[in-house]
Structure 1
Amino acid sequence: MDDGDGAVSTAGVVLLFRPDLETAENVMLLAEQVGQVYLVNNSPGDASIAKMLALLPGGLAMTVLDQSENRGVAAGFNAGMRAAFADGYDQVVIFDQDTAVTPGLVRTLTDARSAAGVRAGIVGPALRSAASGVVYRRESGTGARRVDTLISSGSLFHRDIVAQIGLHDEPLFIDYVDHDICLRAKRAGLHNLKVYDALVDHRFGDSHPTRLLGRRVFLANYSPTRLFYSSRNRVIVIRRYGFGAWFWADAWFTAKAWIKLLLLEQHRGTKIRAGLRGIRAGLVFPARERRW
């Protein structure tokens, strides 16, 4: 499929799990930039889905893909990507509910991919805090640069890349599914690109503001279940790909998150135990790469 002039065609995917009403605005902004939006409903039967969909205008080019249950971020992304590629689209830009679409995003990512040539892998934007409006320190720059990993939400996946490396690893469920697919692309000799001229607003968990040592900080307040998966999957990704540059960037982020959790968040004991269970589970989880 093309856009009528030989240009690459793009679809959008938005993963929904008990969405708030603001998600409708995100869907509409994405629909302005792509040929079709695939809404993957990971919370079937939840009333929030119908309320959000009711805010969308009639005639919007969208398809709702109801899942049988909450199958996780990886399986949800994959369901939308499979549908888009089956309908003939050349590339897909995917979002979860923590990332807000910004004007011109898809064109900027597509142009960067085109300029990078045939070795371009996964192409993603830089991150701005949805809570503070400030671009994260490690996300500041111009142009595009090769990186080990990107967050999948907001990133562009071309069908040729997916045919080569596969989709997201579904048993990982949530967290580090983006690390896994990016490192798989790098291992295949592709160049993942962070495009600093393409910004998205991203929220980590609750992004609850508080003070620590006189400074304003934001707490993610992730659930014990989420912390189990992040701890488990971090170990799995280390076992698969080793201690590369990705690990040290992630270690810095993880250390800050756990310091805030230990000092400021509630239910610390439960969360610590969940993290330890995740580490143990990661050590016995099959480490081989998956190609879905």
Structure 2
Amino acid sequence: MIVEQKLRPRVAGVVLAYHPNATILRNIAALLDQVNVVYVVNNSAGEAATQVLAPLAFFRDVEVIDLEGNLGVGAGFNAGIRRALDADADYVWIFDQDSTVAPGMLGVLLSHVDDYGVHTGIIGPALRAAETGRVYPADSGVGAVRRHTLISSGSLFSRELLEEIGLHDEWMFIDYVDHDICLRARSAGYTNLKVLDTVLDHRFGDSTPARLLGRNVYLANYSPLRLYYQSRNRVVLLRRFGPRGWFGEDAWFTIKAWTKIILFETQRGLKTASALRGLWDGLRWRRTGE
């Protein structure tokens, strides 16, 4: 009797680099242990990033894609995804430069791709705060759970999904790009999964410590421009998809973030003005071309 053996899918990793330091090389080496090829998208202008990434020329199965400066998270990920799909990848696994993949993570994620049949959408790992070593409360547990949204870093996309719903919205530039593609997957009838049995170490922003009510809190210290995009794109998502399933958690996260901005961060006036300008531009956004 002939037993049909299921072939291992071809998986490409995509790592987005923006003014990286040398730790990105260790992260890429760890990723290479699990995927067939890694595409490193250099989203930085200037020689500094080029020099940091130069040793990758000696890495087998790594290709660096140089963009013309910072084109944004959406465009950066899309450049790597397009290259992966052109090279016949079955799955594309994307990462920020400040995330560290755990051993065996890919196998754990792939073990859940059939949980909902052809309707399994984007799959990602649980998250652990790199600065504290603690798993986020919402990411504790076992097995895989349904989620409306996942962060970009660590997210696994099938070719079939991307061919149906398209790639990231490059107009959004940075924040909520991940929310948008996840919510588009759900709108197309897919189920996004967070796999709690494997954990990604991830850092949000600068993660500078401060003391609040006797405990450590960590400041992202995002620029005024970054806060503009957060504010604008949050409103755009509300208008595209409504609040159901994702906005409650996001609102709580936003309240905590702005509490820390007001109490501890510099440029508070400029950051507030940028966020209000983003709010206004989000309210004025039109669906032209969608």
3-state SS, counterpart of residue 194 of structure 1: strand
Give TM-score scaled by structure 1 length: 0.94
**Shift in Å, 1:288:** 6.4
Alpha-carbon contact 1:168-1:177 (below 8 Å) kept: yes
Alpha-carbon contact 1:124-1:194 (below 8 Å) kept: yes
Alpha-carbon contact 2:232-2:278 (below 8 Å) kept: yes
**Shift in Å, 1:112:** 1.3
Give TM-score scaled by structure 2 length: 0.95
Aligned residues: 286
Q: 1:233-258, CA deviations, whole angstroms, 9 ceiling, x for partnerless residues? A: 00000000001120001111111001
CA distance in 1, matches of 2:98, 2:58: 25
**Shift in Å, 1:106:** 1.2
Q: 1:142-183, CA deviations, whole angstroms, 9 ceiling, x for partnerless residues? A: 100111000111100001000111100000000000100000
**Shift in Å, 1:34:** 0.4
Alpha-carbon contact 1:124-1:154 (below 8 Å) kept: yes
3-state SS, counterpart of residue 114 of structure 1: coil
CA distance in 1, matches of 2:136, 2:260: 17
Alpha-carbon contact 1:228-1:278 (below 8 Å) kept: yes
Asked if residue 244 in structure 1 is aligned to residue 244 in structure 2, the reply is: yes
CA distance in 2, matches of 1:216, 1:287: 42
* Aligned residues: CA RMSD: 1.6
Residue of structure 2 in register with 1:204 after alignment: 204
In the alignment, residue 16 of structure 1 is paired with which amino acid? A
3-state SS, counterpart of residue 174 of structure 2: coil
Residue of structure 2 in register with 1:150 after alignment: 150
Q: 1:164-208, CA deviations, whole angstroms, 9 ceiling, x for partnerless residues? A: 111000000000001000000001110000101121011110001
Structure 1 alignment gaps of length 5 or more: none
Structure 1's 266 and 198: CA in aligned 2 closer, same or farther, altered over 3 A? same
3-state SS, counterpart of residue 118 of structure 2: coil
Structure 2 alignment gaps of length 5 or more: none
Identity %: 52
Structure 1's 286 and 97: CA in aligned 2 closer, same or farther, altered over 3 A? farther
3-state SS, counterpart of residue 266 of structure 1: coil
Alpha-carbon contact 1:42-1:66 (below 8 Å) kept: yes
Residue of structure 1 in register with 2:50 after alignment: 49
Alignment of 1:105-120 (within 5 A): 105-120=105-120
3-state SS, counterpart of residue 118 of structure 1: helix
